[in-house]
Amino acid sequence: MSSWILQDFDIGDISCQIIEFSVDNHSYVMLFNRVDATRTEEMISEKAEELGIDYRENSYEVKFDLKENFESDQFFVRPEVSISVPGMRELGRIIKDLLEFHYRNSNAEAYVCVAESTKLKRFYDRLAKLYTEELNFEVRMNLGEEGLGYEITTPSYKS
């Protein structure tokens, strides 16, 4: 595993954690923000109902994007040069490793994410199939009206 540093930062009133990494000459950021730190109780209830899940106190929304998109506030714009197939495999492995790294540092009960496209959903589905057992996590897929949502529960999840 790499020597990642989980950095805290604020966007307005929202406190998040960020990790930077690179694959195939593309720089990425992965963001973790506690659900209860970014939304009101009412908003949390609405989102939970929309996805069909129960939010836990120590739950995080997780997203990743190109660093240049993040810095320019133009989220989820695809790179001009596509990532290679081996690069996609490496990206998947790094995302798995970063979830494990964050879990070990935060003891999160659950992670929630939404794929921004059907192509990204296929990528997430493949990651879930490859790594769920290895991480000892459980993944609920196809959540929400469009079926693009995921809930990843960890061994710390309290039912």
CATH number at residue 127: 3.40.630
Per-residue b or e along 2-34, where b marks 16 or more CB atoms closer than 10 Å to that residue's CB: eebeeeeeeeeeeebbbbebebeebebbbbbbb
Is residue 1 assigned to a domain?
A: no
Amino acid occupying residue 90: E
Quickly state the pLDDT bin for 13 (edges 50, 70, 90): low
Measured between its terminal Cα atoms, the distance across the chain in Å is 30
Quickly state the pLDDT bin for 156 (edges 50, 70, 90): very high
Is residue 73 assigned to a domain?
A: yes
Is residue 158 assigned to a domain?
A: no
Is residue 112 assigned to a domain?
A: yes
Q: What is the mean pLDDT of residues 150-156?
A: 94
% helix, strand, coil for the chain, step of 5: 40, 30, 30
* Segment 96-149, tens digit of pLDDT: 999 999 999 899 999 999 999 999 999 999 999 999 999 999 999 999 889 999
What span, in angstroms and rounded, lies between the C-alpha atoms of 29 and 24?
14
Is residue 124 assigned to a domain?
A: yes
- For residue 6, is pLDDT > 80? no
What span, in angstroms and rounded, lies between the C-alpha atoms of 159 and 151?
14
Number of domains in the chain: 1
* Segment 33-90, tens digit of pLDDT: 888 776 677 777 777 777 777 777 789 999 999 999 988 888 888 888 888 999 999 9
What span, in angstroms and rounded, lies between the C-alpha atoms of 35 and 144?
17
- For residue 7, is pLDDT > 90? no
Is residue 100 assigned to a domain?
A: yes
- Which tokens is 58 given? 């120590």
Domain that holds residue 71: 7-153
pLDDT (0 to 100) of residue 1:
44
Is residue 120 assigned to a domain?
A: yes
pTM of the model: 0.86
Is residue 127 assigned to a domain?
A: yes
